[in-house]
Structure 1
Amino acid sequence: MLFDPRTFVSQVADLHAQAVARWHSQPLDNPYTGVMAVVCQQHQFNFQLWHQEDIARNPDVTDARIAEVKRAIDGFNQQRNDWIERIDETFIQMITAGGVTANADARLNTETPGSAVDRLSIMTLRIYHLREELDRDDIDDLHVAKVQEKLRRCGVQHADLSRSLSELLLEVFSGEKLLKVYRQMKMYNDPTLNPQLYRKAG
């Protein structure tokens, strides 16, 4: 098997961490190719979504600004979900190109690889911003201890999820598990399915 799941997951972790640090000091970019380019694009939408969510909770911003931010959140969240599906689509293309066929008794997993990559992306953002909390000069020892405990838990969760994703991909690329793309089909963004939109149009 040319595709090595453990190497891939390690590369995803590096991409997520390096991109978050880079994007806080320079414009968003995507210098990758193949599946890693898809992973990076999905990560960008989480990055943008994270910071819009912060603004939405600021009590000092105007109602007009909140409305603007909420629309941005809706857009970024839709794109985030679209690109989770793209990650899974890319894996299916890789499986097909590699001539992998699912075993007759292959099982489905409750979470797709794309969804797990998305959760790793969000966890990386959480870790980055928790570490930022430790650099503040207006915090006390209690705050430091609370943040350090959260960071410890995040580290455990990231490691557990990374291992689980490696195992899932190993099973998918060996034919032991099936991989399907599960469409989100969010109704509220579809003008033909959201009654608030199609009633207004009519």
Structure 2
Amino acid sequence: MPPLLSSADVIAGHDTALVTPPVAVQANDLGGWIAVNHFHNRSLWAQEDLARRTLAADAEIVANKRAIDRHNQARNDAIERIDEVLLSALGLVDAATLANARLNSETAGSMLDRISILGLKIAAMREQTLRGDVDDAHRQACGERLQRLVQQRADLGNCFDELLADSRAGRAYFKVYRQFKMYNDPQLNPALVAESK
């Protein structure tokens, strides 16, 4: 079985990406889908910040909200692709062969998505610790939060690594859980259905 990415590899890739402006990427392998997911998380983060402006024109906020929906859909699609690629690489496509394995309630792709988001929180909180326009109490409080976020990401990374190890050993498995984001579907969102009549 080929080696899979460890959480340390993923975290390093996320952190490296954060030092440059986000650029849309194409995926054709596990690393590519992880990068796609991280790109859409970064884009969502930026759009969420913009959507909370209080002095922006309504049309700008509407544009932000629509961008949020697009990025969120793409983010979830990437999570599903990550899970598909990992399950294939682990030989777990047929879960019927795993009668003695426990089903993990969270997928590996969802864990990597959370690791990505924690990376964004860490970067943003680190910026707060470096601000010159706030007092020491603000920087100290943010420094304490930063330490907690770093620990949370490390803990989640360990859980991801353990899930993959347990999956390889036949002790655990996960499934691809389809998100079925109904709000983006013109046939399932009641407001969009009503608009089309």
TM-score by length of 1: 0.89
Q: CA 1:29–1:77 in structure 2 vs 1: closer, same or farther (change >3 Å)?
A: closer
Give the aligned residue type for 1:103. L
- Choose 133-142 or 64-73, whichever is displaced more: 133-142
| 1:189 counterpart = 2:184 | yes
Matches within 5 A, 1:77-116: 77-96=72-91, 102-116=97-111
Structure with higher RCO (Cα < 8 A, 6+ apart): 1
Residues 51 and 61 in structure 2, CA contact (< 8 A), matched pair in contact too = yes
Distance in 1 (CA, whole Å) between partners of 2:58 and 2:95 is 53
1:3 corresponds in structure 2 to: 3
Identity, in percent, stands at: 41
Runs of at least 5 residues in structure 1 that lack an aligned partner in the other structure: none
| 1:20 counterpart = 2:9 | no
Q: CA deviation at 1:201?
A: 1.0
| Aligned counterpart in structure 1 of residue 112 of structure 2, from 112, 117, 120 | 117
Matches within 5 A, 1:57-72: 57-72=52-67
Q: CA deviation at 1:95?
A: 2.1
1:175 corresponds in structure 2 to: 170
Residues 42 and 118 in structure 1, CA contact (< 8 A), matched pair in contact too = yes
Residues 92 and 173 in structure 2, CA contact (< 8 A), matched pair in contact too = no
Give the aligned residue type for 1:108. L
Distance in 2 (CA, whole Å) between partners of 1:79 and 1:98 is 23
Aligned residues: CA RMSD: 2.2
Question: Does the residue aligned with 1:21 lie in a helix, a strand or coil?
Answer: coil
1:37 corresponds in structure 2 to: 32
Runs of at least 5 residues in structure 2 that lack an aligned partner in the other structure: none
Residues 45 and 77 in structure 1, CA contact (< 8 A), matched pair in contact too = yes
| Aligned counterpart in structure 2 of residue 151 of structure 1, from 134, 146, 164 | 146
2:193 corresponds in structure 1 to: 198
Matches within 5 A, 1:51-62: 51-62=46-57
Give the aligned residue type for 2:13. L
Residues 100 and 173 in structure 1, CA contact (< 8 A), matched pair in contact too = no
Please give the per-residue CA displacement for 1:11-34, whole angstroms capped at 9, x wherever unaligned: 1010000001122xxx51549862
Residues 14 and 119 in structure 2, CA contact (< 8 A), matched pair in contact too = yes
Please give the per-residue CA displacement for 1:46-78, whole angstroms capped at 9, x wherever unaligned: 000000111111212111101110110111111
Distance in 2 (CA, whole Å) between partners of 1:99 and 1:49 is 34
| Aligned counterpart in structure 2 of residue 128 of structure 1, from 123, 129, 146 | 123
Q: CA deviation at 1:189?
A: 1.2
TM-score by length of 2: 0.92
Distance in 2 (CA, whole Å) between partners of 1:179 and 1:156 is 25
Q: CA 1:65–1:100 in structure 2 vs 1: closer, same or farther (change >3 Å)?
A: closer
Residues 102 and 176 in structure 1, CA contact (< 8 A), matched pair in contact too = no
Residues 88 and 180 in structure 1, CA contact (< 8 A), matched pair in contact too = yes
Q: CA deviation at 1:3?
A: 2.2
Give the aligned residue type for 1:148. G
